[in-house]
Structure formats: C-alpha cells, structure tokens
A = this chain, B = another copy of it.
C-alpha cells in the first residue's frame, strides 16, 4: 500500500443510557477507559446532540404545551404531527407567526435563530408524551466535552455536535453539524467546503440512527484548521440573508 492520505472513523463502544444531569464529557471519558481506547491529539469527536439534550434536561412534556392558532393552522397541513409538537417547533424558531417554519409534503422544517435550518427545528420525539429540544448552546456543549477530555486524557481534541437531518429529494437521514469546538467548520483551501457536515456524515456511517446506541464516533487523521474560538455560526449564512432559503 502506498502512503496515500487517509482517515479513520471509529464508533466508541460502551456509552450506556444517558440520564438528566450526566456530564457527557465524563461519560465519554469513562467509555474510553472501559474500552481501552486512547485519543490522539487532533481527533475529532462526533457526539449526537440527543445525548447532550437528555443530559441537559431538554425534555418537555407535551401536556405542558398549548398550541396557538398558528400551530393548529400548520398542523392541519401535516395531520400526522401532534399540534403541540408543531407548537414546540414554532417556539424553537423564536418567531410566533410561524414564518420561520416551512411545511411541504409531510416534511416540516424550522429556521433557528442562529441560522440553522433543520427538520422539525431539531425537535425530536421522546416517547409518546414528550419532546426533546436541541442543546441550548451546542458550541458550548462541544467546548465542555473537549475541556473534560483534555483533563481526563491529556489530549487536545475537537468536538462536533451532530443532529440527524434529511434532504428534500432523498429518503432517509444523514447527520449534519449543529455545534463545534476546536475545528473550523468551513474548509476554504479549494473553494468553500462544509467540512463540519462532511465529518458529521462520515461519523453517521458508524453511529447510525438513534436506536443504534452508538452516539459517539472518533474521526482520526483529518487535517483541519484548529481554532479554539470556532463556532458553528462560522459555517452558516448570515441569518438575516437566508430569507427564502428556508422554504424547502
């Protein structure tokens, strides 16, 4: 074999059920110790936003939500969705008029205040009676995990927080980045490349969807720009200029 450039994606085994109040950085450090896996400087740790949401207590019981007229109007277009879930999606966009929510076919997407456009505005079902919201500040969650791993392992790693998302033309979902720490999310060496999303998708191959029980993957060998001040916003269009692009 020649010395061609390559990188590796590995699922981290040993992550059990996450409980509210858990420290996800510690959970990952424990799984590393339990499996005998060592990190290397420069590794990119991809973490499913769902486990961070659970740890951060971002679960909301549906019986605490009263849908507005706007939610009922939108829900009429997608009857299979609960109106209280639709209300939660509207709430996540921070625009009560529903103008930052797009419905087409049986697909609903929401344009978050930071500029991200996600299926269901990142709102996940959490059983029949509750929903799970995105972490409050995924960049901060990523920074906390990286700091914890630095102390626990002595390695400087970057972290990408991922969420599952689909395309309008394809069936199924892949993963995109919703938060970063350490890694510049946009690569610009040969035109603009959404490196954070490429790595989130590469991790998704090993992580699988939520029921697969593999919410963490380690990406090793990718050259990237390290920047401790990197934020997901660096890869997002100006939220004020995106108007119209959210209609999909």
Contacts and interface: CB of A to CB of B under 8 A. Distances in A.
Contact of A105 (B35, B209, B242): B242
A115 B169 contact: yes
Interface stretch (A61-69, A135-143, A152-160, A192-200): A192-200
A15 to B, nearest CB: 11
8 contacts: A1-B37, A7-B9, A107-B245, A171-B186, A174-B193, A175-B198, A198-B204, A202-B202
A6 B13 CA distance: 11
A235 B111 CA distance: 25
A5 B10 contact: yes
Give the 4 A-B CB pairs with smallest separation, nearest first.
A248-B248, A201-B201, A172-B192, A202-B202
Interface of A: 1-2, 4-13, 35-38, 104-105, 107, 111, 115-117, 166-176, 186-195, 197-199, 201-202, 204-206, 208-212, 222, 235-237, 241-248
Nearest to A1: B37
A186 B171 CA distance: 7
B104 A247 contact: yes
A222 B188 CA distance: 28
B191 A174 contact: no
Contacts of A201: 174, 197-198, 201-202
Given A174-B194, A211-B191, A6 B11 contact: yes
Given A4-B13, A36-B2, A169-B117, A199 B189 contact: no
B193 A208 contact: yes
Contacts of A189: 208, 212
B246 A168 contact: yes
A193 B175 CA distance: 9
B170 A206 contact: no
